[in-house]
Amino acid sequence: MGVWLEGRTLAEKIKEEVKEEVVHFRRTANEVPGLVGILVGENRSSQIYLRSKEKTSQALGIASQVLTLPAEIDSRTLKAQIEELNRREDVDGILVQLPLPSHLKAHDIICAISPGKDVDGFHPFNLGSLLANEEGLKPCTPMGIIELLKFNQIPLEGREVVVIGRSLIVGKPLAAMMTNENATVTICHSKTKSLAGVAERADILVAAMGKPAFVKPEFIKEGAVVIDVGINQLTDAAKARELFGEDEKREKDLADKGYTVVGDVDPRAIERAAGMTPVPGGVGLLTVAMLMKNTLVAFKRRRHLEP
């Protein structure tokens, strides 16, 4: 049986390092990084995510603000709001919480953000810099995964990595980061033939497709490292008992909230893996920590304090 690669220890370490630097800049320059999150509409999950990011920012001394805009806002008006934030000297980081209402094209909106303030790392300029293995703001979840592997002294060079999922938020940028670390990478998706067989080749398997417990233990090579990026709501109590056995916390979640959170990987895969990230308590914690780090990096680069 493998070990759980929890994310809290590393996330707290990263946040503490950010906080120390923020305190330093407040004392020496009377300046702190500024972060603005944009929420369009009233998506409940998006509200929770952004408030969590705002709370973390404030705890680290970063000046933060959530700009809430109506769901019916048109693209031109939203871009004008972003342009205003681009011009503000007290704003170092801008993020647009996804998903957006269906009448807005996420790519166009993200392109309106100044690349130097794109702390989510989704702007085409930053993604291009990533592909070129050049400096730039990188997507937070993939960056957190790389840091977690290094923190646990799991080598990447020469390893075979399989990523299930090809989104611009996780799958594609993570594949580029892994390649930059000299790993050999395969990206899988819904059209991949013999997916289980491809996954079983992996020394490091990353699941990021948004399907609860989709990756079964038989997908896992004995001794592989498994990174579970999925965050899914499971409402079936019988399925939860099948996956987790008698688990008081999950049973309470089901009773109180009507669901329990599960990843994309069947938790019983830990029996075959050398190490595996838990859900919750794994990659998700690092995503927010890396956002804070990106905000600090953007602050320093805008002031020519970092290349």
Does the annotation mark 120 as catalytic? yes
Catalytic residue among 15, 53, 117, 221: 53
SS (H, E, C) the chain: CCEECCCHHHHHHHHHHHHHHHHHHHHHHCCCCEEEEEEECCCHHHHHHHHHHHHHHHHCCCEEEEEEECCCCCHHHHHHHHHHHHHCCCCCEEEECCCCCCCCCHHHHHHCCCHHHECCCCCHHHHHHHHCCCCCCCCHHHHHHHHHHHHCCCCCCCCEEEEECCCCCCHHHHHHHHHHCCCEEEEECCCCCCHHHHHCCCCEEEECCCCCCCECHHHCCCCCEEEECCCEEECCHHHHHHHHCCCHHHHHHHHHHCCEEECCECHHHHHCCCEECCCCCCHHHHHHHHHHHHHHHHHHHHCCCCC
211 is catalytic: no
Q: Taking the CB of residue 66, how many other CB atoms lie within 10 A of it?
A: 16
From 92, 118, 120, 266, the catalytic residue: 120
Contact (CB, 8 A) for 137 and 126 = yes
Catalytic residue among 81, 92, 97, 221, which?
A: 97
User: For this structure, is 172 an active site residue?
Assistant: no
> Which sequence positions are flagged as catalytic?
53, 97, 120
